[in-house]
Chains A and B, each alone.
Chain A
Amino acid sequence: MNIFIVVPFRNEKKHIVDVVKGLSKYKLPIVLVDDGSTDKSGLKIEGLRLKNLTLLTHKVNLGKGAAMKTGAEYAFANGAGAIIFMDGDNQHDPSDLPKFTKELEKGNVEAVFGARNFAGGVPLIRLLGNKFASFIIRVLFGIKVSDVLCGFKALTGKAYKKIKWESTGYGVETEMIARAGKTKLKFSEVTVRAIYHDKVKGVTILDAIGIMGEIVKWWFTI
């Protein structure tokens, strides 16, 4: 199976080169989506000149969900059988990639969801928010996923068609799981490591409140 790695990012000048270097060891095509960065992160990528690397640039910031969709559309249009999403802030450990490829190669599942190991280093507010979101999703959409907000996940082309999301922002992770529940998607979970480099980036409390509102909206619309 032809597997592509899709990494959406915005203003990740500090980490994006390390992310790419970490991924390049695995010889998989990498699709980076620069979602309207203003810190010239894209230029750093162009300077790397790697063979299997494609950089897609949103001229205007659209949000994580939109960037993931752009990456997915590009990958599937260019021969990908499956894609693995990773965050561009170096939060995910590339050494977890074989767990995803192994699950996808088995062919039993349409999606593989990463579940962060919450043993240490995760801010308490994020941990509580995550557990609450998982509980709500389980009640409303009938799907039990340990870590609904984890951005490290894999989808086959079939799964992408089934759960193609509308969210343009951080609500994308939750919407994907909600749609997976509604469409009875076959999935498995793998444990991944998460390293928090930047506490001010990512989902804020305001984003979390917005996501909660969206969950209710999806309950009616999906």
Chain B
Amino acid sequence: MIIGLQIIALIFAFSMIYFVVLHYKRGEIGKGEVAAWMVMWTVAIVIIIFPEILRRFASTFLVTRVFDLMTIGGFILVISMVTSAYIRTKKLEKKLEDLIRKEAMRDANYKNQITNNKQKHK
């Protein structure tokens, strides 16, 4: 029998699938990303409905309770996602910095060229 917590988790998982499809339709994420997120949330739904599946894994990793295994798995997932987001942000920051710097230098060189040309014509 499905309990209240499972219902909340299922609503959350289905909402996330809806958002994945929505972002795909808006062209904000690619086919590969949609597939990856779909697989992840489908697996999550299966685990929510049949948590017994995890019991075998829990005993394999010497974890006593299924809940503990899910918590550990959740931590690993969150840490890896935060790390990946941090690296991407740093790369973007660097690209933005380089772009703004190049633009500033190009504009200054252009202005200097105009000033030099004016002085030559005088």
Identify the A interface with B (CB < 8 A).
Answer: 33, 54-60, 62, 66, 69-70, 73-74, 77, 168
Tell me how far the C-beta of B46 lies from the nearest C-beta in chain A, rounded to whole angstroms.
41
Q: Are B108 and A74 in contact (CB under 8 A)?
A: yes
Q: Is B52 interfacial (CB 8 A cutoff)?
A: no
Taking each of B93, B103, B104, which has the highest tally of chain A beta carbons within 10 Å of its own beta carbon?
A: B104
Question: Which residues of B approach A to under 8 Å, CB–CB?
Answer: 93, 96-97, 100-101, 103-105, 107-108, 111-112
Majority SS of interface residues in chain B?
Answer: helix
User: A33 to B104, Cβ gap below 8 A?
Assistant: yes
The answer to whether B97 and A57 have CB atoms under 8 Å apart is: no
Checking B93, B96, B105 against A74 with a beta-carbon cut-off of 8 angstroms, the contacting residue is B105
Which listed residue (A54, A55, A62, A74) contacts B97, Cβ 8 A?
A62
> When chains A and B are docked, how far (Å) is the Cα of A58 from the Cα of B99?
10
**B100 partner residues in chain A, CB cutoff 8 A:** 58-60, 62, 66, 70
Q: How many A-B residue pairs have CB under 8 A?
A: 39
Min CB gap B16→A, angstroms: 33
- Between B93, B101, B105, the greatest number of chain A beta carbons within 10 A of the residue's beta carbon is seen for B101
In whole angstroms, how far apart are the Cα atoms of A69 and B105 in the complex?
11
B105 touches A56 (CB 8 A): yes
Point out the residues of chain B lying under 8 angstroms from A73, CB to CB. 101, 105
List 17 extra interface pairs beyond A33-B104, A70-B104, CB under 8 A.
Answer: A54-B108, A54-B112, A55-B111, A56-B104, A56-B105, A56-B107, A57-B108, A58-B101, A60-B96, A60-B100, A62-B97, A62-B100, A70-B101, A70-B105, A73-B101, A74-B105, A74-B108
- What B residues does A33 contact at CB under 8 A? 104
In the assembled complex, which residues on chain B have CB atoms less than 8 Å from the CB atom of A60?
Answer: 96, 100
Q: How far is A54 from B111 in the complex, measured between Cα atoms in Å?
A: 9
Shortest distance between the CB of A23 and any CB in chain B (Å): 17
